[in-house]
Amino acid sequence: MADESFPASGFRSTSDSRLHCSLLKPMLLRNSVSTLLCRPQSRLLHSSRVVCCHSKTNSEAKYKDPFKLGSSDLKNLYEDIKKELFMATQELREMCEYYFDGKGKALRPMLVVLMARACNIHYNNCREVQPQQRSIAVIAEMIHTASLVHDDVIDGSDARRGKKTVNQIWGERQAVLAGDYILSAASVALARIGNATVISVLSQVIEDLVRGEFLQLGSKENENERFAHYLEKTFKKTASLIANSCKAVSILACPDPKVHEIAYQYGKNIGIAFQLIDDVLDFTSCADQLGKPAAADLKLGLATGPVLFACQQFPELNAMIMRRFSSPGDVERAWQYVQESNGVHQTTYLAQRYCSEAIREISKLQPSPERDALIQLTETVLTRDK
């Protein structure tokens, strides 16, 4: 893959797109799996390999469960979200509150409060999360959930987190409106923070979500363009929310643009890794484990990382990708090719590289248990199975 094939758009700067080049280059140029460092035998590369690259930093990561460190800040997260939805009429409120049942991973709010604490400590040695920073955690979870409610309508999905989707229970039109309402309530909460830069940073997320989802509707004929398109979509659809929420709390923590950039880069890299693993799980987990249908991406016509890597070994996949797996038997054959290829391993390895980059970025902050927990979270992202 040529460097110039990477898009500058979608990543904020040329240094961003250069990072994507440098992360992918060794994998795509030296394509065979034997050239990958330590070929993994299991589904997931052992994440200690990520740790190896940053042994000093990671040996400081004492928090086996990073979720514990931020949990006190998130104790009433769902109650607070429900307060934001209070003005809705009864049926609308029921639909809007449906996913705020405490059963989600709440990864985004956790990242936000840990980043807030890490930046506060870095700047003035005070770890307490400010009320406005806490609001960013609430808003991030609301924007995320609104996008999922809409996504299930677009994907025609009937199950999420082990239960029926909003569209399945109440209908598609109602689900669109419920997503709209959650988003509008999140916007009101954002305006209440009263910081124009923060408002602009989080508004960018909404634009990126829509553009990412729109990119997903299209495909590229050229193989190099296809991977760039996939990474740009991945950034916009998933990583932008994490990157910009992390940046927002760093802005509230301190005026130093270098810190804002560290927070953004950490969020961007862990966010891309998160989505790459999501795409892997679509091929390696069953529906019961995921709480949503498995192999959903192929059925939706989507060629994600595992397929794009598999295509280098099995060019037969090209035609199927172009027709979005629409001919009878395409989904089954593509699935088989992926299983026989190194696509899952290579996608996982790519996710590890993004996590290593996230660790490199966050390690620029002053040492703190919160910084260690953010490092530890990269491992959680890589080893999750749902």
**Residue ranges in contact with Mg ion by CB under 5 A:** 151, 155
Q: Give the residue with the Cβ less far from ligand FPP, 40 or 104.
A: 104
Residue 5 CB partners (closer than 8 Å, separation 6+): 224, 225, 227, 228
Picked from Mg ion, ligand FPP, none, the partner binding residue 238 (CB below 5 to 8 A depending on kind) is: ligand FPP
Report the partner that residue 353 touches, choosing among Mg ion, ligand FPP, none (CB closer than 5 to 8 A by kind).
Answer: none
**The entry of Mg ion, ligand FPP, none that residue 232 binds, CB within 5 to 8 Å by partner kind:** none
Residues 288-347 that bind ligand FPP (CB under 6 A): 292, 296
User: Which residue sits closest to Mg ion, CB atoms considered?
Assistant: 155
Instruction: Enumerate helices (H) and strands (E) in the chain, giving the number of each.
Output: 21, 2
Q: Would you count residue 143 as binding ligand FPP (CB under 6 A)?
A: yes
CA–CA dist 268, 355 (Å, integer): 10
Shortest separation between residue 210's beta carbon and ligand FPP, angstroms = 5
Residue 155 vs 361, nearer CB to ligand FPP: 155
Query: Is-contact 50 386, C-beta < 8 A?
Result: no
Contact 311, 340 (CB under 8 A): no
Could you count the other beta carbons within 10 Å of the beta carbon of residue 186?
25
Nearer to ligand FPP, 247 or 292 (CB): 292
**Given the DSSP bridges, would you call strands 163-164 and 159-160 parallel, antiparallel or unpaired?**
antiparallel
Identify which of residues 61 and 143 has a Cβ nearer to Mg ion in the complex.
Answer: 143
Residue from the set 10, 109, 179, 267 that interacts with ligand FPP by CB under 6 A: 179
Q: At what angle do helices 257-284 and 343-362 cross, to 10 degrees?
A: 160
Least Å distance, CB 168 to ligand FPP, is 13
The CA distance from 58 to 367, in Å, is 11
Q: Which is nearer to ligand FPP, 63 or 274 (CB)?
A: 274
- Residue type, position 362, single letter: I
What's the min distance (Å) between Cβ of 154 and ligand FPP?
6
Nearest C-alpha neighbor of 96 from the set 77, 81, 108? 81
| DSSP codes joined into one string, 261-326 | HHHHHHHHHHHHHHHHHHHHHHHHS-HHHHTS-TTHHHHTT---HHHHHHHHH-TTHHHHHHTTT-
The one segment of 28-36, 72-80, 142-150, 367-375 that binds ligand FPP by CB under 6 A = 142-150
Contacts of 365 (CB under 8 A, 6+ apart): 118, 119, 121, 122, 259, 262, 371
20 Cβ contact list (under 8 Å, min separation 6): 6, 11, 228, 231
Count of residues binding ligand FPP (CB under 6 A)? 19
The binding track of 236-255 with respect to ligand FPP, each residue x by CB under 6 A or -, is: -xx-----------------
User: Can you tell me which of 21, 33, 154, 199 binds ligand FPP, judged by CB under 6 A?
Assistant: 154
> Residue 67: CB partners within 8 Å, gap ≥ 6?
110
User: How far is residue 127's CA from residue 248's CA, in Å, rounded to a whole number?
Assistant: 16
Q: Interface mask (CB under 6 A) for ligand FPP, residues 185-224, using x and -?
A: ---------------------x--xx--x-----------
347 binding partner (options ligand FPP, Mg ion, none; Cβ < 5 to 8 Å by kind): none
Binding at 209: pick from ligand FPP, Mg ion, none (beta carbon under 5-8 Å per type): ligand FPP
Q: Which of 87-95, 104-112, 134-142, 153-161 is the region at the interface with ligand FPP (rule: CB under 6 A)?
A: 153-161
Contact segment (CB under 6 A) with ligand FPP among 72-80, 154-162, 255-263, 342-350 equals: 154-162
Give SS3 for 330. helix
292 binds, among ligand FPP, Mg ion, none (CB under 5 to 8 A by kind): ligand FPP
Minimum CB distance to ligand FPP, residue 67 (Å): 20
Q: What is the DSSP string of 93-149?
A: HHHHHTT-SS-S--HHHHHHHHHHHHHHHHHHS--PPPHHHHHHHHHHHHHHHHHHH
Query: Cβ of residue 209: shortest distance to ligand FPP, in angstroms?
Result: 4
Q: How far apart are CA 82 and CA 94, in angstroms?
A: 10
Q: Contact residues for ligand FPP (CB under 6 A)?
A: 143, 146-148, 150-151, 154-155, 157, 179, 183, 206, 209-210, 213, 237-238, 292, 296
